[in-house]
Chain A
């Protein structure tokens, strides 16, 4: 009888531990998804601002076709990107294109003086700042989650139940250095 009780007790402890670990991993995955949703909201906001910006610039500098097309293409790529790494690369490209667009504005005083343009520029800078913080928060959550699924004994539960590491939101080659915000 005693061996049966001991065995049952050991099994009960084991099951409780597994359930606890599983729940912790689920919470971690939920936190990552939530953090990604925050980035997604801000990125969508950014993508929505770009067409207005392009239209405004067109009104003053329609001849800057190449720059405008580069922005539109970069936006399309950013909208269609899948996964954090690809998204980060596409967003970087969009940032580069936008910088060129703002450089164009420097050469057109009328555009620079436009209230609508200034407002959009300010709005974009604010959105960039929010993206930077959302990204920091997301990467922090991913770090916690990845550590959780790769450390013993949670890695056993993670392996059995299909938890896989998540990607950081960073483009290749930008592993170091903080995000610089501002146009």
Chain B
């Protein structure tokens, strides 16, 4: 029996050696930065981001694409103030690349009167994970079309590894059969181990550079060296694209323009506490607070029960302390019970009044949902998890100012589920307890039916998320620049 397992381990080890040998043979080419040059080659900023980032797409690729669209006049970026810039769409552009169209459609979906605040680019109803995946696939498809990139495993590699994986799987199956003859676990063990080995093979797959890609990357690192010495791109805002043109877009893709990139959060998740709302027709910031749920965000009845219990405990402890104090003649005996009652009342009284006021006279809140969030509130994982459902409504108060603050309120999960950010709603709620009793959608979010993207059937690229280097090997292809290290590159999937 032991011999069978030893043989299975040996065969598996051989397969792993084969995998590592192929991984080492197909690692990314070394790239030496070329001489500094101002010559912009025909690749787009997104493709440049891919090939100069070790064939892994970085977060700034989407922002760099938007900057490129601005440099080409498809959109405009205008600075209103240090903390407010606008992206303005200009007619219907033609001839966009698929991933540029994806970025443009996102901007257009958000735009009100053709305008969206740069900070609001993180908003929208898209599934960011799927959006990024689609964007990435489209960029990779173009890089492959240009001969700059290819999949790590060729068909021959994949076939060889798959066929070879059958051997250790069979060996494991036989060993399992020998060790447990009663249950005939061999077939199951073989299937599971075969699937595991294929999963490992898939996990190590990714993009790798071609010789052409390495030459292009070397050229772009030369451009990077030039841009790094000629313009102070790190401090340039996105609106400076009007002056710098495509150079700023490439600087962003090469990690030289962090300020411009962070001001265009195209591929960044929306902030829980800082929302951008277009309620009233103009984009503005809404600071969202999620108060502690000690007495907030609970049905008024529940608040009454909680504070009654809290009041009882406060009164009881006060009574115990005062009884002890009166035993030492520090507190008059006659005032023990009244003082304890007063302590209990002081704790429970005001919240009860608030809760009763909300119970008897809820107010109508009308506005636009700016944040819908669900936070874990105890319980174990899976079906037993307990959640708190939050809804922040921008009521459009003080329309003359940009900054507004709203306190998110809680509601039941069944009411929360069909809502969407951007919906205009009318809610019946208690302002003091932060509990929404009833809510109705007056007008669905315009983003519900916004032009979306289609990543099914288009550019079906076998490009798993773990693009790039083999994690179990030392980094074989660091991009070397002659005089600089890359100061700013975001990795999404690491």
Contact = CB atoms under 8 A, between A and B. Distances in A.
Interface of A: 31, 34-35, 38, 126, 129-130, 132-134, 136-137, 139-141, 143-144, 168, 170, 175-182
A175 B400 CA distance: 7
A132 to B, nearest CB: 6
A166 B110 CA distance: 33
B88 interface: yes
B281 A178 contact: yes
Contact of A177 (B82, B86, B114, B399): B399
Nearest to B279: A178
A31 B396 CA distance: 24
Interface string B39-82: 00000000000000000000000000000000000000010111
B347 interface: no
Given A129-B115, A178-B281, A34 B81 contact: yes
Interface in B77-133: 78, 80-84, 86, 88, 113-115, 117
Contacts of A170: 400
A172 B222 CA distance: 59
Contacts of B284: 136
A141 B83 CA distance: 11
Given A139-B402, A140-B401, A143-B401, A179 B282 contact: yes
Nearest to A135: B400
B403 interface: yes
A139 B81 contact: no
B274 to A, nearest CB: 14
A130 B399 CA distance: 16
A140 B405 CA distance: 13
B280 interface: yes
B113 A136 contact: no
A136 B282 contact: yes
B239 to A, nearest CB: 12
Contacts of B86: 130, 133
B80 A134 contact: yes
A162 B401 CA distance: 25
Interface residues of B, number: 23
A5 B283 CA distance: 54
A38 B400 contact: no
Contact of B80 (A133, A180, A182): A133
A178 B282 contact: yes
B113 A137 contact: no
B78 A139 contact: no
B78 A130 contact: yes
19 contacts: A35-B81, A38-B80, A38-B81, A126-B88, A129-B113, A130-B80, A132-B282, A133-B80, A133-B117, A133-B282, A136-B282, A140-B403, A141-B81, A168-B400, A178-B281, A178-B396, A179-B282, A181-B113, A181-B281
B45 to A, nearest CB: 26
B237 to A, nearest CB: 14
The prevalent SS among residues of A at the interface is: helix
Nearest to A34: B81
The CB with the most chain A CB atoms within 10 A, among B78, B80, B86, is that of: B80
Given A141-B81, A143-B401, 10 more contacts: A129-B113, A132-B282, A133-B80, A133-B117, A136-B402, A140-B402, A140-B403, A144-B403, A179-B282, A181-B113
A38 B85 CA distance: 12
A170 B284 CA distance: 17
A129 B111 CA distance: 12
Contact of A182 (B81, B88, B113, B282): B113
A88 to B, nearest CB: 10
A31 B83 CA distance: 11
A132 B280 CA distance: 12
Given A168-B400, A177-B399, A137 B282 contact: no
Contacts of B80: 38, 130, 133-134, 137
Nearest to A140: B402
A175 to B, nearest CB: 7
Interface in B262-300: 280-284
Nearest to B280: A178
Nearest to B281: A178
Contact of A136 (B78, B82, B396, B401): B401
Contacts of B400: 136, 139, 168, 170, 175
Contacts of A139: 400-402
B186 to A, nearest CB: 70
Nearest to A179: B282
The CB with the most chain A CB atoms within 10 A, among B78, B88, B115, B401, is that of: B401
A168 B115 CA distance: 24
Nearest to B76: A126
Nearest to A136: B402
Nearest to A170: B400
Contacts of B81: 34-35, 38, 134, 137, 141
Nearest to B396: A178
Given A143-B401, A177-B399, A181-B113, A133 B84 contact: yes
A144 B95 CA distance: 45
Contacts of B283: 133
B403 to A, nearest CB: 5
Q: Which 6 A-B pairs have the closest CB atoms?
A: A140-B402, A178-B280, A137-B81, A139-B400, A140-B401, A178-B399
B283 to A, nearest CB: 8
A92 B191 CA distance: 76
